[in-house]
Amino acid sequence: MDSDADIRVVLRQGDPSALSLIHQRYGGVLHAMLLGYLGRPQEADDALQDLFVTVSQQRERLAGAQNLGAYLMTMARNLALMALRQRKRRREQEHPAEMLSPATQQMDVESASAVSHAVMQLPGEQREVLVLKIWQDRTFAEIAVLLDISINTAASRYRYATEKLRGQLKAWR
């Protein structure tokens, strides 16, 4: 019992196990997306927890969503953007080196920091596709379903993101 249809049934019944099912199915991809936006593991963890609090309070609305994954991704995106606005208001200093993927963990700190900073400079739509493709090893078809976009849009956002990264990192070197 882990399909979206099964999750909707459990949500409508008010069964507390619905949150566990949602977490099992979407928790990893939601966390990766939040980390891609926020760049800080602790903030991504906090935002994911906030997301699940909201999900528990809005079970009926979520149960009625046409595309459960896209709805959750939109909720996560909105939470991340809100957190970024709050961060900006507080004028916190960025520490992009905290967002390390398995690929950047093997780099020296300066290189990893440059890559992380470059990723954070990407437009949100491109960054989320890049994070899902690289950090979550998702296919363009899976990304398209999760973000409720076409496969071609997912692929082009990824291409634009990698081109921008190349340009930024070329300038860095």
Residues 109, 84 share a domain: no
Note the pLDDT of residue 98. Answer: 47
Domain count, the chain: 2
Residues 168, 136 share a domain: yes
Note the pLDDT of residue 155. Answer: 95
Q: Which helix H or strand E contains 149, and what residues bound it?
A: none
Q: In this structure, what CATH number is given to the domain that contains residue 24?
A: 1.10.1740.10
Note the pLDDT of residue 112. Answer: 62
Helices marked H in the chain: 4-13, 17-38, 41-57, 59-63, 68-90, 102-105, 109-120, 124-134, 140-147, 151-172
Residues 44, 25 share a domain: yes
| pLDDT profile of the chain (173 residues), mean per 10 | 81 88 92 85 91 90 88 89 78 46 53 74 88 85 89 95 88 68
Residues 45, 111 share a domain: no
Note the pLDDT of residue 54. Answer: 92
Residues 85, 1 share a domain: yes
What is the residue range of 87's domain? Answer: 1-93
Note the pLDDT of residue 52. Answer: 93
The tokens describing 120, both together, are: 């954070």
